[in-house]
Each structure stands twice: as C-alpha cells, then as structure tokens.
Amino acid sequence: MQIHRYERWWMTFGFTMLVFFLLLIGVAAFADNINPPSGMQQIDPTKVAQTPPFDRPGLRKLPDGSYEAYYIAQVFEFTPRVLTIPAASKVTFYVTSADVVHGFFIPDTDINMMAVPGWVNSQQHTFTRRGEYLLICHEYCGIDHQDMFAKIEVQ
Ligand SMILES: [Cu+2]
C-alpha cells in the first residue's frame, strides 16, 4: 500500500496528539488527583419526602447565624414555593429531585445547580440586596417546565 509522504506526516501528527492528550488526562487523574465530584450526599429519590432533612423543606438557622435552605424539586414545582431570608445572611442551599433532573438557578446570584434524583447538591450565597429573587428550573424537565419556579424574598 502506497501512502503519500504528507499523509504519513499528518497521521503521525494526529496519533502523537492523541497519545499526548491521553497522557495529560492520565496525569490529571492520577498524579494531580483531579476527578469528577464524588463523596456527594446520596438520597433515595422515592423517599425524599420522608428523609430528614428533606421531610421538612425550608429554612433553618444555624448556631453561627448562617442559614441552610432545603429544597425539593419535583415536576413542576419547588418546595418551598416561597422562602423568606433576612438580608445579608449567608445561606447554603441544598437541593435534590424526587423524580427527574431539574435545574436550580437564581438569576443575579451565583446559585446555579442541577437537582439530580438520588443526589443532594449544595451551594452557598450571601444575599446582600433586599428584594424578590426568582428561583427557576433551567433544565428541561417536561411539558410544564416553563412554569417551574419559586420565589425568594430577602428582607
Ligand atoms: Cu424544568
């Protein structure tokens, strides 16, 4: 079989790049210990409403003055639908899904998560501006996805 010289150079370049990038992934995974998220809290998606702390979704004040907010995402609503938070407080949001994958997004903040059945996702935010915030689902979850939202009032 006759392979043109340029074709051989190009195949050598492609193969070299493939090996180089596989090596980079190997170094990142094993030497630098960079891996997909693990050690996340798990939950039985069929028993979310009975599993503490999601059996009482809502806001909890911690001894250090910060807050924890527990949310359940389920077609096509968030529980709780309205949450009132004191201004300038640090809130850790915990969210899980009781059915399919949902989004958990609060525009104008850095809260942007996925609510995945079987897993508890969390993110922290300090609300410095008073007012009303919208919490929306930004992962298509079904026929009424566009109506899946909740409200957060910062007072
Ligand atoms: Cu949705």
pLDDT in the model for residue 37:
66
For the segment 67-90, the average pLDDT, to the nearest whole number, is 96
Q: How far apart are CA 9 and CA 11, in angstroms?
A: 6
For the segment 67-86, the average pLDDT, to the nearest whole number, is 96
**Sorting pLDDT into bands at 50, 70 and 90, what band is 70?**
very high
For 79-132, write each residue's pLDDT tens digit: 999 999 999 999 999 999 999 999 999 999 989 999 999 999 999 999 999 999
Phi–psi pair at 42, nearest 5 degrees: -105, 155
DSSP-derived 3-state class of residue 126 = strand
Residue 150 Cα to ligand 1 midpoint, Å, equals 12
C-alpha distance from residue 93 to each of 19, 20, 32, 38, 122 (Å): 42, 40, 29, 18, 5
pLDDT in the model for residue 38:
65
Residue 129 Cα to ligand 1 midpoint, Å, equals 26
Q: Please give the structure tokens belonging to residue 99.
A: 């059915």
Asked if the model's pLDDT at residue 29 lies above 90, the reply is: no
pTM above 0.85, yes or no: no
pLDDT in the model for residue 35:
73
Residue 2 Cα to ligand 1 midpoint, Å, equals 56
Q: Please give the structure tokens belonging to residue 100.
A: 């399919």
**Sorting pLDDT into bands at 50, 70 and 90, what band is 32?**
confident
Residue 128 Cα to ligand 1 midpoint, Å, equals 27
Residue 92 Cα to ligand 1 midpoint, Å, equals 22
Average pLDDT, the chain: 94
Residue 7 Cα to ligand 1 midpoint, Å, equals 49
Residue 125 Cα to ligand 1 midpoint, Å, equals 22
Distance from the Cα of residue 80 to its chain's centroid: 18
Residue 139 Cα to ligand 1 midpoint, Å, equals 5
Asked if the model's pLDDT at residue 33 lies above 90, the reply is: no
